[in-house]
Amino acid sequence: MAGLVGIIMGSASDSETMNNCVEVLQDEGIPFDYIVASAHRDPDKVKEWVEEAEQRGNKIIIAAAGMAAALPGVCAAYTDLPVIGVPMTSELNGMDSLLSISQMPKGVPVACMSIGKAGAINAAYLSKRILDLLGQDFYTRPWIGQTDDDEEFVSDRETPEGPGPHY
């Protein structure tokens, strides 16, 4: 099976954090491929990798970047595939990366996760949800944190019109 998720990191040092993403993808049986390429130091390599993503079978791109964090936006500029940005911790505790990824101009959508490990893990889970919507069906168990109380919560929201909310 082709790598349904393509992971691109701006620096090899991002791999320590992104290994958390890889572990979730592996646990969920989601095939992926990855590359290290900087939007600033290797722009041609980034462009080529992104433009070939669909041919490789990628359905989603996860782009991890720190500091100026241009990589997720550059990826989104070269593809119509969903791009998930993961801000890396940096000299400014990752706030520079978070703002760079989250403040994309109109027409260049990038989903922005939280900074660091939690963001890397959530990028994998968001990828799983997107793949489920695309009919890839990687749903194998309840989501992390889901409890028996969640069913009660849903039934509490039932109204005469059916499951809520209704506005």
Q: What is the pLDDT of residues 45-61, one digit of tens each?
A: 999 999 999 999 999 99
Number of domains present in the structure of the chain: 1
**C-alpha distance from residue 7 to each of 32, 34, 118, 153, 160 (Å):** 7, 4, 16, 36, 45
Q: Quick check: is 40 in a domain? A: yes
Say if CB 37 and CB 49 are below 8 A apart.
Answer: yes
| Lowest pLDDT segment from 14-18, 59-63, 81-85, 148-152 | 148-152
Q: pLDDT tens digits for 92-108?
A: 999 999 999 999 999 99
- Cβ 3 vs Cβ 58: under 8 Å: yes
Could you tell me whether strands 60-65 and 32-36 are parallel, antiparallel, or unpaired per DSSP bridges?
Answer: unpaired
Q: How far is CA 34 from the centre of its chain?
A: 13
69 domain-assigned: yes
Specify if 73 maps to a domain: yes
CATH code where residue 19 lies: 3.40.50.1970
Residue 118: inside a domain? yes
Confirm whether 136 is domain-assigned: yes
pTM of the model: 0.82
